[in-house]
Amino acid sequence: MNILVIKDNHIALQKAWGYAKKHEGSTPLADPIKATTNTMYDLASNTKMYATNFALQMLAYEGKISVNDLVSKYIPGFSDLPRDKIKGKDTLRITDILHHVAGFPADPQYPNQKVAGDLFSQDKVTTLKMIKKLRLSISRVQSISTVMLII
């Protein structure tokens, strides 16, 4: 585990403790690797909450983005394809994605080739291409109350 406290643009506290790696699969390591202040951790789904929301808040505060902007403003070519059964990608706003009402599949798993199939990607350029190809799984939900009824 790591902690970093910054006060007045200076590091007030930086410390690491515990282990960065204690197992290889399910097998305990004979010599576990200790955590350092440079150890990187997989935040998994927390990454979306922390990184995306904080970045969007900062960009909105600076006037560089509006959550009411269309997704296509930032991903040119993000629109319905002729083969799409469910239409509406060209009307999706950033706020629709943030509220989980855009109609995207739950988890396309781009980095998992077995699951993602032709959406497989492990780099930014390819992932952007795949996002443009992603089909909506339901029509955009118009309000949070409608989402509650679906659940």
Which has more confidence, 131 or 48? 131
Quote the CA–CA distance of 78 and 83 in Å, as a whole number: 14
For residue 111 the two structure tokens come to: 């980095």
pLDDT category at 146 given cuts 50, 70, 90 is: very low
Using the predicted structure, report yes or no on whether residue 120 has a pLDDT greater than 80.
no
Give the DSSP letter string of 102-145: S---S---TT-HHHHGGG--SSHHHHHHHHHHPPPSSPPPS-HH
Q: Where are the domains of the chain?
A: 2-34, 46-150
Average pLDDT, the chain: 83
How many residues are present in the chain?
151
pLDDT category at 42 given cuts 50, 70, 90 is: confident
Give the pLDDT confidence of 101-118 residue by residue, as tens digits.
Answer: 888 877 666 666 676 677
pLDDT category at 31 given cuts 50, 70, 90 is: very high
Report pTM: 0.58
Give the pLDDT confidence of 69-106 residue by residue, as tens digits.
Answer: 999 999 999 999 898 888 999 999 999 888 888 888 77
Using the predicted structure, report yes or no on whether residue 140 has a pLDDT greater than 60.
yes
Quote the CA–CA distance of 20 and 59 in Å, as a whole number: 33
Using the predicted structure, report yes or no on whether residue 145 has a pLDDT greater than 70.
no
Q: Cα(first)–Cα(last) distance of the chain, in Å?
A: 36
Which 8-state DSSP code applies to residue 90? G
